[in-house]
């Protein structure tokens, strides 16, 4: 039950770093964000996870079929899986940057993913490089497996959010209330 709140707290911390607030103590900010956002982000996270499981189940079922139609369905499902994954990645950075309704947190990351091809490519390349580094230097895994990807995703997302500002106030100092 703590994976989604801790990920939000991690992204909130990396957002502070990228905004230049390096003097704030890490643990109190992380713990405060974790506790404050526990219920809301768990609800959102489990909805996202259910959608991902639904797509994975459909991929499994279509993989059992044969023929041209099943090939088309598999292509469409794999495309939707990639779109889902990038939307899920944008969800965390979007959540800590904007105040939004429950429904907005589900829809807006998907819209950002659709209109941000260059940023999607940058995130994909960056995460591939991080994965390559962690694969070749496994000693970094305990220290960097969460921070490096979160930092990269948040950095790319913040640059994108500057261009997509929808006249919603930024959340100063972290996550929305």
Q: Residue 19: what pLDDT? A: 82
Q: Residue 177: what pLDDT? A: 39
Q: Residue 124: what pLDDT? A: 92
Q: What pTM was computed for the model?
A: 0.79
Where exactly are the structural domains of the chain? 48-163
The rounded distance, in Å, linking the Cα atoms of 57 and 76 is 14
Residue 1 contacts by C-beta under 8 Å, 6 or more apart in sequence? 42
Q: Residue 122: what pLDDT? A: 92
- Please list the pLDDT of the chain residue by residue as tens digits (177 residues): 788 998 899 888 888 888 877 777 888 888 888 888 898 889 888 999 999 999 999 999 998 888 888 889 999 999 999 999 999 999 998 888 888 888 888 888 898 888 888 889 999 999 999 999 989 988 888 888 888 899 999 998 888 887 776 545 555 445 543
């Amino acid at each position: 039950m703590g994976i989604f709140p801790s990920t939000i707290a991690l992204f909130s911390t990396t957002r502070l770093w990228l905004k230049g607030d390096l003097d704030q103590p890490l643990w109190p900010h992380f713990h405060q964000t974790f506790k404050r956002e526990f219920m809301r982000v768990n609800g959102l996270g489990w909805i996202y996870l259910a959608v991902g499981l639904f797509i994975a189940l459909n991929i499994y079922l279509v993989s059992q079929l044969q023929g041209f139609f099943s090939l088309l369905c598999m292509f469409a499902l794999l495309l939707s899986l990639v779109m889902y994954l990038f939307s899920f990645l944008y969800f965390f950075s979007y959540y800590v940057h904007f105040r939004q309704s429950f429904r907005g947190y589900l829809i807006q990351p998907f819209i950002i993913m659709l209109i941000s091809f260059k940023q999607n490519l940058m995130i994909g390349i960056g995460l591939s490089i991080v994965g390559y580094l962690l694969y070749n230097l496994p000693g970094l895994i305990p220290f960097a497996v969460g921070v490096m990807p979160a930092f990269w995703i948040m950095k790319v997302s913040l640059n994108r959010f500057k261009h997509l500002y929808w006249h919603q106030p930024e959340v100063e100092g972290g996550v929305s209330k």
